[in-house]
Structure 1
Amino acid sequence: MLVLQNLTVRRGDLTVAEHINITFEQGKVYTILGPNGTGKSSLLKTIFGELPFEGSIRYHDKQLENSKLTTWRKPIGYMPQDSGVDASLTALEVVLLGRMDALTMRVSDALLAEAAGIMDQLGIAHLAHRDVLNLSGGQRQMVMFAQVLLRQPQILLLDEPVSALDMHHQLNLLEKVCDYTKHQHLITIMVLHDLSLAAQFSDQLILLGEGKVQGSGISHQVLQAETINRLYRVNVEILQCSQGLPVVRPQRKSANR
């Protein structure tokens, strides 16, 4: 389990998260929601060890402030919003960078096969020998996700992993996230802006607002019109899809055109 206890995060004079208490369990996908500037990305960065904090963060027998950062990060696969590569490398080479610890002057056949297998599962095997600088934003995002998976993480931190993807690739990537989480018994914590998409692909939702957890639980418990109206300052109606999951539909202020 990953446990955040009485966690407070400040950036300068701004408190972005205050007294957060959350327990993340293995084999589940958690999605953090909330308006812009509510500390979603800061929470992931704090778990990864990039931001100072008060309180405690524990994973099994390790505690962040008592562990060396390299040791703490070893089981974590982190994909930030601005992940990317500036160097002229092939997509396969970028994926292989996920295992820097195992790279030598000669990449082993086993590691090459593992990287190629992950790319194939994500539907990007055909990009293996393409220069990553010549790929679309969505293709690069899929390559970076493959790099994260090659690290064989126990914890996945994904900050807006589908922001540059079309609907087909959004669904494909999120299906893979769920599959890997269940089959590899990972803890997956991701940030999404699409509330309806989060309802489909999450075991638990965590709604942040004003530096605090405003709701936590399954989608029906968290996606309440009154709470969303207040935090996002928009009017929404909550519909239900054919799978029985909530669909959040924003409403225009006026129907006049």
Structure 2
Amino acid sequence: MTARLVLRDVDVQHGRAKVLSGVSASIKAGQIVGLIGPNGAGKSTLLNAIAGQLSTKGKILWSGKPVDARDIGFMPQQCQVRADLSVLEVILLGRHEQLGWRIADDIMSAASRILAFFAIGDLAARSMQTLSGGQQQLVLLAQRLLREPQLLLLDEATSALDVRHQMHVLRLLKDYVARTGALVLIAVHDLNLAARHSDTVMLLNGGRLVGHGAFDTVITPDVLRSVYGIDAEFIPSQSGISVILPLSPTSIEANPMEETP
């Protein structure tokens, strides 16, 4: 399988600070890629750059061409609905360019399927303003998937969810990838979630890509010490995936690079 997303020496400048520097990677579709790294590493910046939300230097290509915003699903970190819309109305906006005075039966059917897929059909008539942060996050993710994008960019899309719902959403994303062959890039803070649910990971630190590949080859005790500033144990689990148990912090040094939203 050839790479569908190609990054070549991607730089992002914010004021006088370079927040991404020389990021290069070739990424195959049909997988979930966990975007990991400490605070301020550049995860949000990279996702925004791929989505075309930031001015960049270098090349960002999808299937050999510049990324077309109409072909992707992008869910930024600070994503919420302030209008008094129902859950169903928000879901339907995922196909806003196809909506008219009358909503076609196939679009309504697709909306019903995605509500069922996320097990939120009982919320369809509810106003978004009455939902918890986690429920809103589920609705907004479902909205992105209604389009069935081949490139899905998610910036901490499970941050407001409890552990059970985090695992449920990541399992749904894996099913979505298996069904559509899409590529999902998701920024994840929880390394154990990334280890269990990502096919590969990209590790950012100080605006640079410092690791790319299978989780257990990228994340080692030395990397946790040098990048995350912690000492940790790797405890084997019955599933065959080691669990990272943080033990103590090492020294924390100021990071000269600041991540933009």
TM range (shorter): over 0.9
- Residue in 2 that maps onto 1:211: 207
Residue of structure 1 aligned with 2:94, choices 86, 92, 98: 98
SS of the equivalent of 2:113 reads helix
Residue of structure 2 aligned with 1:6, choices 9, 14, 25: 9
- Residue in 2 that maps onto 1:87: 83
Contact persistence 1:223–1:246 (CA under 8 A): no
Work out the CA distance in 2 between the residues paired with 1:10 and 1:247: 36
- Residue in 2 that maps onto 1:151: 147
Q: TM-score normalised to the size of structure 2?
A: 0.92
Is 1:140 aligned with 2:136?
Answer: yes
SS of the equivalent of 1:74 reads helix
Summarize deviations over 1:198-235 as a string: whole Å, max 9, x none. 01111111111122112111111011111111111122
* Superposition deviation, residue 61 in structure 1: 3.3
> Runs of 5+ in structure 2 lacking a partner?
250-261
Residue of structure 2 aligned with 1:119, choices 115, 127, 132: 115
* Superposition deviation, residue 251 in structure 1: 1.0
Number of residue pairs matched? 246
Residue of structure 2 aligned with 1:180, choices 176, 179, 187: 176
Contact persistence 1:219–1:246 (CA under 8 A): no
1 or 2 for the larger relative contact order (CA 8 Å, sep ≥6)? 2
Summarize deviations over 1:23-56 as a string: whole Å, max 9, x none. 1111011011001111000000000001111110
Contact persistence 1:77–1:155 (CA under 8 A): yes
Q: TM-score normalised to the size of structure 1?
A: 0.93
**Aligned partner of 1:185: which letter?**
G
Is 1:61 aligned with 2:57?
Answer: no
Residue of structure 2 aligned with 1:231, choices 224, 227, 247: 227
**Aligned partner of 1:50: which letter?**
Q
RMSD value, Cα: 1.1
* Superposition deviation, residue 246 in structure 1: 2.5
Is 1:48 aligned with 2:44?
Answer: no
Contact persistence 1:33–1:208 (CA under 8 A): yes
> Runs of 5+ in structure 1 lacking a partner?
65-71
